Structure 1
Amino acid sequence: MKLLFVSPGWPKGRLWGELGFKFPALSLAALAAVTPPSWELALCDENLAPLDFDTDADLVAITAMTPQAPRAYEIAAGFRARGRKVVMGGFHASNLPDEALGHVDAVVIGEGELAWPRLLADFAAGTLQRRYHAEGLLPMETIPVARRELFAGKGYLLTNTLQTTRGCPFDCKFCSVTAFYGRKYRERPVEAVLAELQQLRPVNSFAFFVDDNLVANRRYALQLFAGMKGMGFKWLSHAPIDFARDEELLRAAGAAGCVGMFVGFESLDQETLAAMGKVTNQARDYLDDARRFRDNGIGILGSFVLGYDGDTPASFERTLRFCEEARLEAAIFPILTPYPGTAIRRRLEAEGRITSNDWRDYDMGHVTFRPRGMSAAELQEGHDWLNRSFYSFRSMYRRIWKLHRSVQVFGPMNLGFRSAIKKSARKKSCSA
C-alpha cells in the first residue's frame, strides 16, 4: 500500500512563506519510522514543490500548525474529491479534533507514534476509525531513529534535525507546547541520541535539536554535551534565559559545538514576565545573560512577544535599543497569538477580546485580539516597524559586525529574514 505524507505550504506574502531557508517536518519522519515496511512512503512539502492531487497513494497523512490549518483543509478536500482517504495530526488537530473531522476522515490526537500503527492496521482492514487518541505518553527509550530518507533531494537547508527531549517543565501562558504535552519533561537515553548523531555526522556537520528546552534537566544535558564533545558538530537548539547563569553547563554546551540558541526573552518588563508565567526570566540581568552566551561562542536568536497588556507604543523602540545593546545575533518579534489550547486564549476569550478566528492570521504576524495598551493598528504597525528596523543593515552592523564563530549561522539568517520581510511588505502593499 502507498502512503503520502503532506506538509502544507505557508502562504506567500507572509513572513514564514517568504523565508528562503526551509526545514523539514521531523514529525513526519518520526511517523515514517513506526510505519510497517509493507507501506511505500512518499513526502510532498508544498513549501518546496507543488502538490500533485492525482497521486496513486492509498492514504494521505497531513500535519499542520494552526496557521497552516486552512490550507490543510483545502488539501484534504482536493484528495477526498478524488476518492482518497485523508488523516490529520499535529498541534492544531489535537487541540480542535472536532473541527478537523469536518474536513478529514480521521484525526490523530496527541503523540502520533503510539496511535499510528493502529490507524494503519485499521485502514488496511477497512475499519478506519474517526479518532485515534494516543493513550499515555510514548516511552522515550522506544523512539526509533527518524526516517530522514524522506527528505532526500527535496532541497531543505538542513535535514539533521533531531529530538532528545519532549515537553517543558514550565507553564508559559502563551505556549502551545504545554497545551500539547502537559508539564511533563522526558528524555531519550543519551546513548541513543549519540548513536543517532554518529549516523548524521557524515551527512552534515550542522545539526538542530528541535527540543523546546534542551537543558531543563541539567544532569542529562551535561551527559549529552560530554558525549558530543569532539564529534565535530556545529549545532543549535532552544534554552531558557537562565541557562546563561549556569557557567558549567554553558561552557559544556560551547565545548560540544553549540553555536546558537533560541532564547525567549519575551519582555523587558518584569510585571509582564510574571503575567506570562516566565518564572526564570529576570529582565534586569538580560544584558549580562547575553554577554555570557557570547563569551562561550553561542549566538542568540531572541524572542520578544508583542502586545501583552503592559505593552505600549513605546515598547517597540525600547525593544530595538535593547537588542542592539545586547548585540543579539538575531531575533523574532511574534505578536501575542491566542492559539487553541493555551491559557492566554482562555483568558482572552473570557474577556471577550479575541477579534478573529481566521487561522491563517495565527502566524504571529497579525493581530487577532484587542490589546490593552494600544490599538490593534498600533500593535500591527509597531511589529512591522520593529522587524524592518532590526533587520536593517544599520542594525545588523551594530549587532554582528565583530567576528564570532556564530556569525557563520547568524549572518545568513539575518540576510534571510531581511529578504523575507521585504518581500512580505511588498506583497502586502500590492494587495492593499
Structure 2
Amino acid sequence: MKITLIKPNIGRREHSLYVDNASMEPLQLGILAALTPEDIEVVMYDDRLEPIPYEEKTDLVAITVETFTARRSYEIADEYRKRGVKVIMGGIHIKLLPEEAEEHADSIMIGDAESQWGNMIEDLRRGELKERYICTAPKVPQKGILTRRSIYEGKKYMPISLLQFSRGCGFNCKYCASSVYFEQHHYTRDIDEVVAEIKSQKRKLLFFVDDNIVANKARAKELFRALIPLKVRWVSQGSIDMLDDEELMKLMVKSGCLGLVIGFESIKPESIENMRKGVNRKFVADNYKEAIEKLRHYGLQTWAAFTIGHDTDTLESIRATYEFARRNKFTFAAYNILMPYPGTPLYDELKSQGRLLYDGKWWLHPQYKFNYTAFIPKNMTPDELTEAGFNCRRDFNSLGSVLYRLFEPRTNLRGPVRFFTYIIYNPVFRKEVFEKQGMTFGCLEKDEDERKLEGNLDPAGHRQENQ
C-alpha cells in the first residue's frame, strides 16, 4: 500500500505555478509520515517546488490545506479523483469549513491527526474509508512521534529544521484563525521528546513553528534550560508580554534564541483594543519604547508583525506604522492586510455589516489576488488599503532601508551570526515583496465564465458595485 502526501502551492503568476525558492520543510507532513506504519510506502510532493506526478500509482492522497492554499488544494484533489484515487484532506481550513472541503474529498480529517490517523489507515486497508474523522486535541502533542525527515531529502528547502514545542494560543484576537482552530487552548510537548528530535537531525539552526512559544512561561523555561547544553540557534514566534519575565528572557537568550516573530499588530492603542489583543495594551501605551529597549538589551533580532486595515486605521496611521518599524531598525517586518478568515469573529462581524468582497469567499474567488484587500475598510477604499500595504512592504525592504536598518549595534551587528542572518534573509524577503504581490490563487486557467466576470471587477479585482 502507498500513501502520497501533498503540500499545495498558493497559486500562479501569469501562466505557471509560483516557484517558492524560500520554502521550508512542511513539518505537518513529516509528522503524518511518522504516524504511518512502516509497511506502507510514503512519498511526499511539494507543489511549491516540483510538479505533481498525477499518473503515479497510489492508494491514497493526503493534502494539508490552509485557507491561502484551499483553491489549489481542491484543484489537486479533483485531478486525483478524476483518476479514481481516494483523497483525504486535513489542516486548519478543513476544520473551519468542513462542508466546503467535502465537495472535493472522499474523506476529511477535522483537527490534529494524531488521534485518528491510525484508525484511518486501518479503514483504508479494509476499503472502508469514512467520510469524516473527528480528532480530539492531544493534551501532549506529537507524543512518541519523531518527525520523519527522510521525506524532505532531495528537495530544495531552506537550511533550517522545523519542529514544534507547543500548539495553540490562549489569546482571543478577533482576526485569528488559529485561536478558533485550537479553541483558545495551548498544549506543550514532552521536553525530553523535543530534545530527542533535535538530536535526531543534523542541523543546529532550528525554527520552532509554535504560535506562541512563551504562552506557558513555566514550561518555556524548562524547554530553554534543556536547550542550553545542545548549543543550537533557534527562532520562533512569541507574545510581547514575555519581556515582563526577566528569568524567562535570560534563559531564552542563553538557550540560543536569535530572535522572534512578535505581533506588534498596531502602534495605535485604539486598534489594539478593537482587535482584542490585550497582551499588547501595556506596551503600546508608550509606543513600545520599553519593549524595544529590552529586545535590544537581550540582542534579539525582531520580526515585527503588523496588521493593517482595522476600523481605527487611516492611510496616515498605516504610513506611520512603516516609519515606526524603519526608525526602530527591526530586522524584518510584515505588513499584513487584515484578512477575514472564515469562522473568526472578524469574519462574522464584516459579514453582518455587508462589508465582505468576493462573495465572502475570497480564498476561492477566481479574481482574488494575494495581498489584496478582501473587505471594505472603514476609512479608505479596498484599493487604497492594498496599495498602502504594498508600499509599506516595498519601502521597508528597499535597498536604502535595508542598509539603514543594518546599523543597529545591539541586534543586527551583534556578532557574525546575526549579521549574516540579516544580510542573507533581507534580500529574500525583498524579492518576495514583488514576486508574490498579486498572485492568483490556484493554477487552472480562466474559463469563459470567469472572463465574463472580469467585466464587473475593477483592476484590483474588487466588485465595482461594492465600492
Q: Give your verdict on TM over 0.5.
A: yes
Q: Which amino acid aligns with 1:422?
A: F
Q: Which amino acid aligns with 2:299?
A: G
Structure 1 residue 295 displacement after superposition: 2.1
**Which residue of the partner structure matches residue 313 of structure 1?**
315
**Which residue of the partner structure matches residue 351 of structure 2?**
349
Structure 1 residue 7 displacement after superposition: 0.6
**Which residue of the partner structure matches residue 415 of structure 1?**
427
Length, aligned pairs only: 428
CA RMSD of aligned residues (A): 2.2
**Which residue of the partner structure matches residue 302 of structure 2?**
300
> Is residue 251 from structure 1 mapped to residue 246 from structure 2 by the alignment?
no
For residue 140 of structure 1, give the secondary structure of its aligned residue in structure 2: coil
**Which residue of the partner structure matches residue 101 of structure 1?**
102
Runs of 4+ in structure 1 deviating by more than 6 angstroms, as ranges, are 361-364
Q: Which amino acid aligns with 1:347?
A: E
Alpha-carbon spacing, 1:153–1:248, altered in 2? closer, same or farther (3 Å): same
Equivalent positions of 1:387-406 (< 5 A) are 387-402=393-408, 403-405=413-415, 406=418
Structure 1 residue 401 displacement after superposition: 2.7
Structure 1 residue 20 displacement after superposition: 2.5
Structure 1 residue 427 displacement after superposition: 7.7
For residue 336 of structure 2, give the secondary structure of its aligned residue in structure 1: coil
Alpha-carbon spacing, 1:217–1:424, altered in 2? closer, same or farther (3 Å): closer
**Which residue of the partner structure matches residue 206 of structure 2?**
207
> Is residue 47 from structure 1 mapped to residue 62 from structure 2 by the alignment?
no
Structure 1 residue 422 displacement after superposition: 2.7
For residue 300 of structure 1, give the secondary structure of its aligned residue in structure 2: strand
Structure 1 residue 242 displacement after superposition: 1.7
Partner deviation per Cα, 1:31-52 (whole Å, 9 max, x = no partner): 1111111110000001111111
CA distance in 1, matches of 2:426, 2:213: 24
> Is residue 6 from structure 1 mapped to residue 6 from structure 2 by the alignment?
yes
TM-score, structure 2 as length reference: 0.87
The 8 Å contact of residues 370 and 439 in structure 2, kept in 1 or not, is answered as no
The 8 Å contact of residues 4 and 43 in structure 1, kept in 2 or not, is answered as yes
CA distance in 2, matches of 1:322, 1:18: 32
**Which residue of the partner structure matches residue 445 of structure 2?**
none
CA distance in 2, matches of 1:412, 1:20: 13
Which ranges of structure 2 fall in alignment gaps of 5 or more residues? 441-458, 462-467
> Is residue 386 from structure 1 mapped to residue 387 from structure 2 by the alignment?
no
Structure 1 residue 272 displacement after superposition: 0.9
CA distance in 1, matches of 2:19, 2:240: 29
For residue 305 of structure 1, give the secondary structure of its aligned residue in structure 2: strand
Structure 1 residue 339 displacement after superposition: 0.7
Alpha-carbon spacing, 1:233–1:210, altered in 2? closer, same or farther (3 Å): same
Partner deviation per Cα, 1:239-275 (whole Å, 9 max, x = no partner): 0112223222112111111001010000111111011
Q: Which amino acid aligns with 2:381?
A: S
**Which residue of the partner structure matches residue 194 of structure 1?**
195
> Is residue 358 from structure 1 mapped to residue 357 from structure 2 by the alignment?
no
For residue 196 of structure 2, give the secondary structure of its aligned residue in structure 1: helix
Partner deviation per Cα, 1:87-125 (whole Å, 9 max, x = no partner): 100011111111111011100001112111111111110
Equivalent positions of 1:28-427 (< 5 A) are 28-140=29-141, 142-158=143-159, 160-200=161-201, 203-281=202-280, 282-283=283-284, 284-356=286-358, 357-359=361-363, 365-402=371-408, 403-405=413-415, 406-424=418-436
Which ranges of structure 1 fall in alignment gaps of 5 or more residues? none
Structure 1 residue 217 displacement after superposition: 1.3
The 8 Å contact of residues 167 and 186 in structure 1, kept in 2 or not, is answered as yes
The 8 Å contact of residues 66 and 360 in structure 1, kept in 2 or not, is answered as no
The 8 Å contact of residues 70 and 363 in structure 2, kept in 1 or not, is answered as yes
The 8 Å contact of residues 355 and 376 in structure 2, kept in 1 or not, is answered as yes
CA distance in 1, matches of 2:45, 2:182: 27
Structure 1 residue 397 displacement after superposition: 1.6
Q: Which amino acid aligns with 2:93?
A: H
Alpha-carbon spacing, 1:243–1:138, altered in 2? closer, same or farther (3 Å): closer
Partner deviation per Cα, 1:276-304 (whole Å, 9 max, x = no partner): 11111121251331232222121011111
CA distance in 2, matches of 1:425, 1:141: 35
For residue 61 of structure 1, give the secondary structure of its aligned residue in structure 2: strand
Q: Which amino acid aligns with 2:273?
A: A
Q: Which amino acid aligns with 1:134?
A: C
CA distance in 2, matches of 1:305, 1:192: 35
CA distance in 1, matches of 2:84, 2:19: 33
The 8 Å contact of residues 19 and 48 in structure 2, kept in 1 or not, is answered as no
CA distance in 2, matches of 1:86, 1:426: 30
Structure 1 residue 196 displacement after superposition: 1.6
The 8 Å contact of residues 18 and 424 in structure 1, kept in 2 or not, is answered as no
For residue 369 of structure 1, give the secondary structure of its aligned residue in structure 2: coil
Q: Which amino acid aligns with 1:109?
A: I
Alpha-carbon spacing, 1:313–1:184, altered in 2? closer, same or farther (3 Å): same
Partner deviation per Cα, 1:148-190 (whole Å, 9 max, x = no partner): 1111111111351111111111111111111111111111122
The 8 Å contact of residues 305 and 335 in structure 1, kept in 2 or not, is answered as yes
CA distance in 2, matches of 1:229, 1:142: 23
Deviates further, 406-415 or 40-49? 406-415
CA distance in 2, matches of 1:120, 1:158: 32
CA distance in 1, matches of 2:160, 2:99: 33
Alpha-carbon spacing, 1:366–1:18, altered in 2? closer, same or farther (3 Å): farther
Alpha-carbon spacing, 1:272–1:341, altered in 2? closer, same or farther (3 Å): same
The 8 Å contact of residues 311 and 373 in structure 1, kept in 2 or not, is answered as yes
CA distance in 2, matches of 1:138, 1:39: 27
TM-score, structure 1 as length reference: 0.94
Partner deviation per Cα, 1:185-223 (whole Å, 9 max, x = no partner): 1111222212222222xx211000011110111111111
For residue 225 of structure 2, give the secondary structure of its aligned residue in structure 1: helix
Q: Which amino acid aligns with 1:273?
A: I
Structure 1 residue 19 displacement after superposition: 4.8
Partner deviation per Cα, 1:379-398 (whole Å, 9 max, x = no partner): 01101111110000111122
Q: Which amino acid aligns with 2:399?
A: F
CA distance in 1, matches of 2:245, 2:18: 37
CA distance in 2, matches of 1:193, 1:426: 39
For residue 203 of structure 2, give the secondary structure of its aligned residue in structure 1: coil
For residue 314 of structure 1, give the secondary structure of its aligned residue in structure 2: helix
Identity of aligned residues (%): 32
